[in-house]
Amino acid sequence: MVRDQPCPHCRVCFTQGAGFAAHTKACSRKHAAGFSSAQLPPPPPGQPRKHPLQSFVEGDRYHIPKRVPKAVRRQCARVLTELIRKCTRDNSSESWIDLLLFAPTALSLPPTKSLRRESLAAHIRKNLADPSLAKRQPVPRRDLPKHDELPPDRLRAQVTSMLQDGNIKGAIRVVLGDDKLAEINARTIELLRDKHPPAPDDCQFPADPDDSITPPAVTPVEMMATVFSFPSGSAGGVFGLRPQHLKDLLVRKDDTQSELCLALTDLATMVLRKNIPEDVRPYVFGANLIPLLKKDGGIRAIAVGETLRRLISKTHQQSLR
C-alpha cells in the first residue's frame, strides 16, 4: 500500500496497511454523503427545529485545543481544504454550516483530562473518522470560568498559557491590568443591548453596489502573509477556529499546505465578489461579545469576530494598500 494513503471518505491517512480496508468499509457506510459536521443533537420533543448554527450558538461549548498536533495536521488540512472547496463550488447553506463547524467537529476534545485516555492526535483522528457533532462531549456550564476576579492558581495558569503561545503582551496585560469580566446577568445583557441596539425599522441603507465594481482577486502570497500576521494567542470566534489553527496547517511546506492556501484564496475571492447565503450571514459576520467592567461600573464590550471573516477582510485590506 502507498504510504500515507488517505481514506476516500473521511480523508484520514494510514501509514500502514493494517486496518485500512476495515476502516474504509465501515466509513463508507457511515459517511456515504461525505464529511458533514452539521449533525447537531435533535431538539427536544415539541420544540421547533432551529437553524443548525443557532442551535450551536445557544448550546454548550466544546473544548478545542489552541494548537493542532503535528501528527494530524495533514489530515486536518485535507479535510478543511475539501470543506472550503465544497463551499466555493456550491455556495450553499449546508456547505457553509459544515465549514463553520469544522473546529468543534474535528478538533474538539473530551471536557476533562480524566476522559482523555489517548493522545490529542488520536482523539482528533477519531473525530475526522466520525464527524457527528452530536457525539462530542460539551464542557459543562459549571466548569466554565467564573465571571469574577481570577484566583492566584487560575491567574498563574492563564499567564503560563499566554507565554506558551508567545503572547507576551497579553500575559503582561493580564498581570498588570485591572480588567474584570462582568457577571452574566440580566443587567449586563441590558447594558450590552444599550451599547449595540438593533437597527430601527425605518432605517434606510445605501443601495448595494452593482456588478461593475469588482474587488481585486486575492493572491496566495497575500493569503499566506495575512495568516501569519495574526498576533500569537489571537482568540477564535463563535465556532472556535483560531488563527493559530490555520498557522499550524499552513506551516508545513508540502502539497497539502499549497492546496489549503489556494482554497482559502478562492474562498476570500468568492466572498468578496459574490453574496453568501443569507441565512448564514449573521454567523459569518457575527462576533462574541465579552463584557468587561469599567472603573465607573459601566460595561466595555470586546467583540471577537469569526476567524474566517477576519482573515478575508484583513487580506482584502492588505491588497488595497
Q: Dump pLDDT digits (tens) for 62-78.
A: 788 889 999 999 999 99
More confident residue, 309 or 10: 309
**How far is residue 94 from each of residues 35, 41, 115, measured CA to CA in Å?**
11, 16, 32
Torsion of CA 176, 181, 187, 191, to 10 degrees: 70
Map grid coordinates 443548525 to a residue. Answer: 52
Give the phi and the psi of residue 83 in degrees, each rounded to 5: -65, -40
The 10 Å Cβ neighbour count of residue 38 is 21
59 vs 61: CA distance, rounded Å: 7
Average pLDDT in the 46-68 region?
Answer: 76
Query: pLDDT tier at 224 (50, 70, 90 boundaries)?
Result: very high
| Model confidence at 287: pLDDT above 50 | yes
Helices (H), 13-164: 20-30, 52-58, 73-90, 93-100, 102, 120-129, 152-164
- Residue 98 pLDDT > 70: yes
- In 3-state terms, what secondary structure has residue 186? helix
Angle 254-256-162 from CA coordinates, rounded to 5°: 90
Contact 139, 278 (CB under 8 A): no
Give me the mean pLDDT over the 195-211 stretch.
77
Does residue 160 carry a pLDDT above 90? no
Domain boundaries, the chain: 35-147+182-198+215-320
pLDDT classification of 143: cutoffs 50, 70, 90: very low
